[in-house]
Amino acid sequence: MQIARTHMNFIRQSWKQYRAMYLFMLPFFILFLIFVVAPVLTAVYLSFTYYNMLEPARWIGLSNYRLLFVEDDVFITAIRNTLLFAIFTGPLSYILSFTLAWFINRARMRQLYTLAFYAPSITSTIAMSVVWLYFFANDRYGLINYGLMNIGLINEPIAWLKEQATILPVIMIISLWMSMGTSFLVFLAGLQDVPRELYDAGAVDGINNAFQEVWHITLPVMRPQLLFGAVMAIVNSFAVFGVAVQVAGLPSPLYAGHTIVAHLYDYGFIRFEMGYASAIAVVLFIATFVLSRWVMRILGDNE
């Protein structure tokens, strides 16, 4: 009884103190609960069922997960491809976004440079696939094959989108091309907010080159933006799907471009096994979440 009363008091006091703040959050909170949290929880529930969208979901416990890890060899390939992709493009796109933002920030004609680097990320994968299929075409009609053959680097055209060895690298290159997106803009905006005085003070304290300045002044001040960029880089690189399917197809030759989300899409929207697809989503979620937590700790989130 006593505990309940202190509890009530605590709630009443918090409400009194922060009433305006809770009201600020209310619209987001309601919509978020209905259209984001509820669907996610439903998907988690479905991962323990057999659900083909026609009959009602049937509870089957952990069967989907057992199948996924023990019997589904294609899923293991998908994990391997996704990890390779994430290890390569995640850090690279992150570092590239920051480095380029930093250089552009020092340059004249910043708007022009920003436009050139940002524009690719706006394009839709569907619209751009026309371009990629021409650049990386498997025969001598392809621009890259034509170029390489012309300068004598290769004699026979390379089947970029058919060879197991080249499919994943091509997907990585295209994704990197498109990766100077929101994080890049966020870094540019963040760089503006580093107070000038800090640089002046740093110069007095003996900082005399750009590297030291970035390390001791820019990076610490930009921590909120860097954290955002890091989490987005992880989420995006683990969710690789659109580009892979557009250039390599679904399924890709020997599953060389098969990713976790491609596998999910295959089961959810081609075979209509939503339960199994949901289990894949849960596994992907856990992997992304653990990694993001780890990165957040490294970047020293103060909460």
Partner 1 sequence: MPMKLPRLFKRDKRHASPLEYFFLTLLAAFMILPLVYMVSTAFKPLEEMFLYPPRFFVRNPTWQNFTDLLIAISGLSVPFLRYFFNSLFVTACVTGGTVIISSMAAYPLAKYPRMPGAKLFFNIVIATLMFAPEVTQIPRYLIVNEFHLVDTYAGLILPLLAGSYGMFLMKQFMEQLPVEIIEAAKVDGASEWTIFWKIVMPLVRPAWITLILLSFIGTWNDYFTPLIFTRSEQMKTLPLMLSTLSGGPGMVARTGAVAAASLLVTLPTLLLFIFLQRYVMETMAHSGIKG
Q: Provide CB contacts within 8 A for 113, sequence distance 6+.
A: 104, 107
The gap from C-alpha 54 to its chain's centroid, in whole angstroms, comes to 32
For the bound state, the minimum distance from the C-beta of residue 143 to partner 1, rounded and expressed in Å, comes to 5
Long-range Cβ contact pairs of 58-64 (< 8 A, separation 24 or more): 60/275, 64/275, 64/276, 64/278, 64/279
Pick between residue 164 and residue 202 the one whose CB is nearest to partner 1. Answer: 202
- The single residue among 3, 20, 70, 165 that binds partner 1, judged by CB under 8 A, is 20
- The single residue among 72, 177, 219, 250 that binds partner 1, judged by CB under 8 A, is 177
The yes or no reply on residue 59 touching partner 1 (CB under 8 A) is: no
- The single residue among 28, 59, 69, 294 that binds partner 1, judged by CB under 8 A, is 28
Specify whether the backbone of 53 is left (phi greater than 0), alpha (psi in -120 to 50) or beta.
Answer: left
Q: What length is written for the chain?
A: 303
- The single residue among 50, 65, 88, 228 that binds partner 1, judged by CB under 8 A, is 228
Q: Which stretch binds partner 1 (CB under 8 A): 61-69, 75-83, 243-251, 281-289?
A: 281-289
Q: Provide CB contacts within 8 A for 272, sequence distance 6+.
A: 52, 53, 54
The yes or no reply on residue 55 touching partner 1 (CB under 8 A) is: no
The yes or no reply on residue 119 touching partner 1 (CB under 8 A) is: yes
For the bound state, the minimum distance from the C-beta of residue 59 to partner 1, rounded and expressed in Å, comes to 17
The yes or no reply on residue 42 touching partner 1 (CB under 8 A) is: yes
Q: Which stretch binds partner 1 (CB under 8 A): 71-79, 81-89, 158-166, 228-236?
A: 228-236
Where in 79-118 is the site for partner 1 (CB under 8 A)? Answer: 100, 103-104, 106-108, 110-118
Pick between residue 24 and residue 69 the one whose CB is nearest to partner 1. Answer: 24
CB 93 within 8 A of CB 120: no
Distance, in Å, from the CA atom of 247 to the CA atom of 179, rounded to the nearest integer, reads 17
The yes or no reply on residue 18 touching partner 1 (CB under 8 A) is: yes
The yes or no reply on residue 168 touching partner 1 (CB under 8 A) is: no
Indicate the residue type of 196.
Answer: R
- Six-digit token string for 207: 């900082």
Pick between residue 254 and residue 272 the one whose CB is nearest to partner 1. Answer: 272
CB 238 within 8 A of CB 288: yes
107 burial via Cβ count (<10 Å: 0-12, 13-18, 19+): exposed
- Six-digit token string for 146: 């034509």
x/- contact string, 198-227, with partner 1 (CB under 8 A)?
A: -x------x-xxxxxx-------x--xx-x
x/- contact string, 235-264, with partner 1 (CB under 8 A)?
A: x--xx-x-------------------x--x
CB 242 within 8 A of CB 125: yes
**For residue 9, what is the enclosing H or E element?**
helix 2-32
